[in-house]
Amino acid sequence: MAIIEPPSDRKAERLGNGLGDMNGLSWSCNWPNILGAQDLVVSKKEKCILRDLAKRVAEIAAHPGQEEKKRLWLEHNALGETRPLIFADPENAWYELIPATQLETEGSLARLWEFRLRKEIYWAERIGDDRVIEPAFSVYHIYDESTRGLEAKLIGDGGDGAYRWDAPLTDYSDLDKLRFRRINVNAEKTHRLHDLALEVLGDILPVRLEGVWWWSFGMTSDLILLRGFQQVLYDMFDNPDGLHRLMVFLRDENLAKLDFLEANGLLSLNNGGDYIGTGGYGWSDELPTSGFDGKMTRTRDMWGFGESQETIGVSPDMFEEFVFAYQLPILERFGLNIYGCCEPLDRRFDIIKRIPRLRKVTVSPWLDIEGMAEQLGSDYIYTHKVNPAEIAVSTIDAERIRKGLCDMLRATSKNRCHVEILMRDILTLSGNPENIIHWTQIAREESELV
């Protein structure tokens, strides 16, 4: 957790009422904080608007094509033979596709829910990727976390652009000032939120209460916030003992977090239409694992996720010593795992493949695609991340996009890879919604040729 100074000026409000984030509300791990800040009120007029949208979502979810896409994901995630699957999430550009002026509700909670429902409809009717539209509506436990005692001070845009920070751990002698962050669940507000969702939508879409408590167990983002980006690199040479002690703290903090969530029944399965890490969707018949009682989710019943984008310039040996050694005990707890985000993994894969039950590996645009295809073969899922800059322009270069996909699919087909194609990390479509629609069409055309 970091203290963010108020920015001097911000972009236009994305959904009105100061609502919005940098991910188009696509990351469920952001929802508890956003919802927790809202008054839990939906007017009679707003209820009618939300119910009409929910009915349309229910109609879409009932279409046989949704079951077919679900079957494809289940087979794909089990390393079965399927066509390459396509996932296209406009993320921050959702605010261009569904602008604030299009929303009909006025209250903050209603606008958040309306935006989510409109996204489901737009995804199905316009984008047309392989996302399964489910007949359900999720709400999340509302909570906050205590501080660590030493907190980074962010200076700058605080989410809308560049920023710098003052790292608080200037000397390793201050390590004893750090304490584990603790989760504080607002049970009363969580139950009121759940009850309100049931009242408004429950007879149209089943309402699910879920716990979403993290995005990644990479830990290196917390590491550099605490110690500083450049200083961490120096520490690998000048103060390895201090760096190891800090990584021990971060590892043990995350293990304690998992222990707390598991013991208190706060974990939720992510083996359905859940966006897991950076690797498509979590549909899996292999989860939950044996012994699951249908009530208490354990870490071994879930997908785990790790990455280390901040150490892209670090040698494989140093990555293994200072990062991977501390990630491994966390990822060992999960039933299936995915690893990687934007960092190239081709020089690290011999290390990463030691993760138990590693199933998906994210393939960055910035590596040797053919070499990575050879390393992954048919033993893992090749999660291909496309450079979002390709569609962040007023007019896309369709032939260049087609060639890039064709080259990747040729390499992966030769190596019998299980492929999913991801278009995400999008900041803008330059105001042209057809960009992502056209990209999805091209990706589907090329994938069907394999």
253 by Cβ neighbours in 10 Å (0-12 / 13-18 / 19+) ranks as middle
> What pLDDT score does 12 carry?
53
Angle at 369 between CA 325 and CA 93, to 5 degrees: 85
Q: Is 344 a residue whose pLDDT tops 60? A: yes
pLDDT single digits (tens) 188-242: 999 999 999 999 999 999 999 999 999 999 999 999 999 999 999 999 999 999 9
Of the candidate ranges 167-171, 275-279, 318-322, the one whose mean pLDDT is the lowest: 275-279
pLDDT single digits (tens) 366-391: 999 999 999 999 999 999 999 999 99
* Average pLDDT value over all residues in the chain: 94
> What pLDDT score does 162 carry?
83
Residue 2's pLDDT band, with cuts at 50, 70 and 90, is very low
> What pLDDT score does 160 carry?
66
Q: Is 440 a residue whose pLDDT tops 70? A: yes
**What's the alpha-carbon Rg for the chain, to the nearest Å?**
22
Q: Judge if the upstream peptide bond of residue 288 is cis by omega within 30 degrees of 0.
A: yes
Which residue, among 20, 42, 13, has the nearest Cα to 101 in the 3D structure?
Answer: 13
> What pLDDT score does 159 carry?
58
What structural domains and CATH numbers belong to the chain? 3-447 (3.20.20.210)
Q: Is 11 a residue whose pLDDT tops 70? A: no
> What pLDDT score does 320 carry?
98
